[in-house]
C-alpha cells in the first residue's frame, strides 16, 4: 500500500487537501506542529495523525519512515521577519529533504508560491521555466525550497513537483484574483498530478483555468492537469479599477508583497522582458 506524508495538515490548504483527495488504496500520515483539527479526527480509513516539529531532524526522519511520497505544505505562509521565517521555511525544508533522502522517499510535491516570481510585471505571461524573481523574504524561502527540490532530484533522484500556488480561496474577491485564483478542488487535483505523473523536477503554477491568468502552465497540462474552474465566472461581481502605472502593487505580479518597502526602479522592472 502506498504511504503518503502530508505536512501542514492543520492548515487551510492541508485540511482541504486531506478532505478532497481520495485515500482509497493509500495510507496517509498527516502531520502538523499544531494539534489535530476537529475535522482531522473525523477522517476514517488508513489515516494517522502525528503532531511533530520539522525543525527537529529526528522528528522529520521518523515522519518519513516507510513513506513513498510527501506533500509538503507546512511552513509560515505569509511575509514575516527573517527570524519568523527561518525555522519553518528554511530549517524545516532542509530537514525534510534530508529525511526523505535517508528514508528512501521517491517523490515530493512542494507547496511553493507565486511570490517566488512576484517581481515580474503583470503584463508578462510566465511558464515556470523563467528565472525566479521573488518579491519578499517569504518568496525567497519558497525559491529556497524549489532549489532543494532541484538539487535532491538531480543528486538523489527524489522527484520534485513544485507548485507555485496562486490565490487560494473558495471564490475570487478582487480584480487581481481573476488572474491568480485557484479553487480548492483544482489545487487538490494538481497535487494528485504531482503524486502520479512521470517527471524529474518540475515547477508549475497552482492556478485554475482563468481567462486572465498570468501563467501559461503548459507543463502542468502536459502532465495531466485538467482544472475545472475559471475565475471569469465571478468577474461580474468584482469591482474593476483603472490601472495605475506608478503603483508597484498593481504593476507587479506580487502585489503588496512586491510593493512593501519598495525603493527600486519600477520602470526598469516593467520594461524588462522575460529571460533578460
272 — pLDDT class (breaks 50, 70, 90): confident
Q: Which helix (H) or strand (E) holds 257?
A: helix 256-259
45 — pLDDT class (breaks 50, 70, 90): confident
Selecting among 120, 138, 152, 168, the annotated active-site residue is 138
The answer to whether 149 touches 95, Cβ cutoff 8 Å, is no
Q: Give the pLDDT score at 33.
A: 96
Average pLDDT (125-139) is 96
Ramachandran angles phi, psi of 110, nearest 5°: -105, 125
Distance of alpha carbon 207 from alpha carbon 126, whole angstroms:
12
**C-alpha cell read off for 31:** 502531520
223 — pLDDT class (breaks 50, 70, 90): very high
The answer to whether 29 touches 48, Cβ cutoff 8 Å, is yes
Q: Give the pLDDT score at 240.
A: 82
Distance of alpha carbon 105 from alpha carbon 193, whole angstroms:
17
* pTM of the predicted model as reported, rounded to 2 decimal places: 0.96
**C-alpha cell read off for 6:** 502530508
Give me the chain's average pLDDT, please.
95
DSSP code, position 55: T
**pLDDT, tens digit, for every residue of 56-72?**
999 999 999 999 999 99
Known catalytic residue at 168: no
Q: Which of helix, strand or coil describes residue 163?
A: strand
The answer to whether 244 touches 179, Cβ cutoff 8 Å, is no
Of 47, 177, 163, which is closest to residue 116 (Cα–Cα)?
Answer: 163
Distance of alpha carbon 241 from alpha carbon 221, whole angstroms:
31
Q: Give the pLDDT score at 271.
A: 86
Q: Give the pLDDT score at 121.
A: 96
**pLDDT, tens digit, for every residue of 168-208?**
999 999 999 999 999 999 999 999 999 999 999 999 999 99
For the cut 60, the answer to whether the pLDDT of residue 276 exceeds it is no
**C-alpha cell read off for 173:** 474577491
Q: Which residues contact 45 (CB under 8 A, 6 or more apart)?
A: 23, 24
Spell out the domains of the chain, with CATH numbers in brackets.
2-271 (3.40.50.720)
Amino acid at each position: 500500500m502506498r504511504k503518503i506524508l502530508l505536512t501542514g495538515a492543520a492548515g487551510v490548504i492541508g485540511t482541504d487537501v486531506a478532505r478532497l483527495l481520495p485515500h482509497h488504496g493509500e495510507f496517509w500520515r498527516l502531520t502538523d506542529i499544531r494539534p489535530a483539527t476537529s475535522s482531522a479526527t473525523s477522517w476514517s480509513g488508513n489515516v494517522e495523525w502525528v503532531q511533530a516539529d520539522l525543525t527537529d531532524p529526528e522528528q522529520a526522519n521518523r515522519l518519513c519512515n516507510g513513506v513513498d511520497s510527501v506533500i509538503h505544505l507546512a511552513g509560515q505562509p505569509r511575509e514575516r521577519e527573517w527570524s519568523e521565517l527561518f525555522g519553518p521555511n528554511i530549517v524545516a525544508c532542509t530537514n525534510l529533504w534530508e529525511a526523505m533522502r535517508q528514508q528512501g522517499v521517491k517523490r515530493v510535491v512542494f507547496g511553493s508560491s507565486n511570490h517566488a516570481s512576484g517581481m515580474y510585471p503583470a503584463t508578462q505571461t510566465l511558464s515556470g521555466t523563467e528565472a525566479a524573481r521573488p518579491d519578499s523574504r517569504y518568496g525567497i524561502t519558497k525559491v529556497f525550497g524549489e532549489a532543494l527540490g532541484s538539487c535532491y532530484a538531480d543528486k538523489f533522484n527524489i522527484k520534485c513537483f513544485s507548485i507555485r500556488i496562486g490565490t487560494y480561496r473558495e471564490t475570487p474577491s478582487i480584480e487581481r484574483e481573476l488572474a491568480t485564483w485557484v479553487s480548492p478542488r483544482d489545487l487538490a487535483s494538481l497535487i494528485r498530478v504531482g503524486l502520479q505523473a512521470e517527471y524529474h523536477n518540475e515547477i508549475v503554477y497552482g492556478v485554475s483555468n482563468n481567462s486572465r491568468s498570468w501563467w501559461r502552465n503548459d507543463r502542468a497540462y502536459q502532465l495531466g492537469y485538467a482544472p475545472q474552474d475559471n475565475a471569469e465566472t465571478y468577474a461580474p461581481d468584482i469591482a474593476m479599477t483603472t490601472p495605475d502605472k506608478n503603483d508597484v502593487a498593481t504593476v507587479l505580479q506580487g502585489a503588496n508583497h512586491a510593493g512593501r518597502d519598495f525603493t527600486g526602479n519600477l520602470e526598469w522592472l516593467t520594461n524588462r522582458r522575460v529571460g533578460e
